[in-house]
DNA sequence: GTCGGGGTAGACAGATCTGTCTACCCGACC
DNA sequence: GGTCGGGTAGACAGATCTGTCTACCCCGAC
């Protein structure tokens, strides 16, 4: 088993702490020392599980990817079997996310803002966005959209816009407007 | 005259260098020392014009605000006198921006990702987004939209989504899709 | 011609960051 | 009972970061 995926209570604690701190304060603002201290782990243990900080950041993004993709799928499924309803329903995940306490935008967009193209962190972000768009495209195909690629991109554009506006804006109606706009675009496709 | 706005060749050099480095590498990745070295200025001069790094970051964002707002207005104006055409035409600024070499997304969103709510940098970002949305809302009013607030928000959502996707995506069609979606939403409003 | 303001050059302090290393502990398994 | 793997505790090195301070220079205004 690869050293990085080796399960361990200490590893979980590190990752949970990193998840909390990286999201709340940004990746570069949080030092390895702080994560070590707050996860109650020895420094040597940390570096046994994660060769370097960047590896931890990528694992953090893996964790976010799992969580967010699941929320999108759940929200879509909750809208019933109709793919068109699902394309609109997935925006409920956005509403829920923006309402959450300590919401601070999309973890991937935030992380990518701190790393340049070609770095592992940036690549992981691109892969995540591609995966989400691919999944949305699948729904668009099922929905019989004339141009599934364009519809998928338009909806993910609204999603990404909503994810960032949700934290950069006092008014809480960004998710609502995003969903309404999505409904209009889906209906027209 | 306030010490921060005092004009000076040295100050301009600092700000130009900061603009280039902050945008390309992220704010926290670029140290004050590097900006000082690359702008060819003495350290004391730097701290005479900018009491601290955060002041420089805010001035950098002021500069970005001027540039980006101008590009949006120019693109809108180029679409002719019809406010509806202008609401769609402003997306040409997005296309131009995404094509630019070294494009790395929205400077404001990137900067806000590195600072927490309540900081001057975060506040400056919120103010910028509010200003842009206010301007778009004015166009929406002129266009006779039924719900100018919702239309303005929907369009800025697409704009922000396009700004981030434009750098997180190999395919270059994000701006095109954003403009098409905007056209659909404007036509329906 | 003197004086002040803007600029230069760079040492320095103090904090912080990543990553390494040594030494020890403890429990499971052979 | 002995060994080995995972964990703990913390010193340490070396780089880097922000911000201060001293000392000097040059030019224009009075």
Q: For the beta carbon of residue A29, count every other beta carbon within 10 angstroms.
A: 15
Q: For residue A6, what pLDDT band results from cuts at 50, 70 and 90?
A: low
Q: Give the pLDDT of residue B124.
A: 97
- The model's pLDDT over B157-167, given as tens digits with 9 standing for 90+, comes to 999 999 999 88
Cβ of A157 within 8 Å of Cβ of B161? The answer is yes
Per-residue buried b or exposed e for B73-112, using 16+ beta carbons within 10 Å of the residue's own CB: eebbeebeeebbbbbbbbbbbbbebbeeeeebbbbbbbbb
The DSSP call for residue B5 is T
Q: Give the pLDDT of residue B7.
A: 72
Give the Cα separation of B133 and B86 in Å (integer): 14
Residue nearest to nucleotide C7 (CA to C1'): B45
Low-confidence residues in chain B, pLDDT < 50: 1-4
Share of chain A above pLDDT 70, in %: 97
In the structure encoding, which two tokens stand for residue A55, read together? 């590896």
Query: Looking at chain B from residue 85 to 104, which residues have their Cβ under 8 Å from any Cβ of chain A?
Result: 104
For A102, the closest chain B residue by CA position comes to B117
Give the Cα separation of B127 and B36 in Å (integer): 28
For A21, the closest chain B residue by CA position comes to B116
Q: Give the pLDDT of residue A166.
A: 85
Cβ of B160 within 8 Å of Cβ of A156? The answer is no
- The model's pLDDT over A82-141, given as tens digits with 9 standing for 90+, comes to 999 999 999 999 999 999 999 999 999 999 999 999 999 999 999 999 999 999 999 999
With a CB cutoff of 8 Å and minimum separation 6, the contacts of A136 are: A87, A90, A152, A155, A156
Q: Report pTM.
A: 0.93
């Amino acid at each position: 088993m690869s050293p990085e995926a080796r399960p361990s209570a200490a590893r979980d604690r590190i990752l949970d702490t990193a998840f909390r701190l990286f999201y709340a304060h940004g990746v570069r603002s949080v030092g390895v020392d702080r994560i070590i201290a707050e996860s109650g782990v020895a420094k040597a243990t940390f570096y046994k599980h994660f060769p370097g900080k960047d590896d931890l950041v990528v694992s953090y993004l893996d964790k976010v990817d799992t969580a967010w993709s699941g929320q999108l799928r759940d929200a879509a499924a909750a809208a019933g079997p109709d793919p068109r309803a699902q394309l609109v329903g997935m925006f409920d995940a956005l509403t829920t996310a923006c309402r959450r306490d300590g919401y601070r935008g999309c973890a991937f967009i935030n992380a990518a803002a701190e790393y340049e193209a070609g770095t592992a962190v940036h690549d992981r972000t691109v892969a995540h966005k591609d995966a989400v768009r691919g999944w949305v495209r699948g729904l668009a195909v099922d929905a019989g959209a004339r141009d599934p690629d364009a519809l998928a991109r338009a909806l993910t554009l609204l999603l990404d816009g909503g994810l960032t506006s949700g934290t950069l804006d006092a008014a809480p109606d960004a998710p609502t407007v995003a969903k309404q706009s999505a409904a209009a675009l889906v209906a027209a496709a």
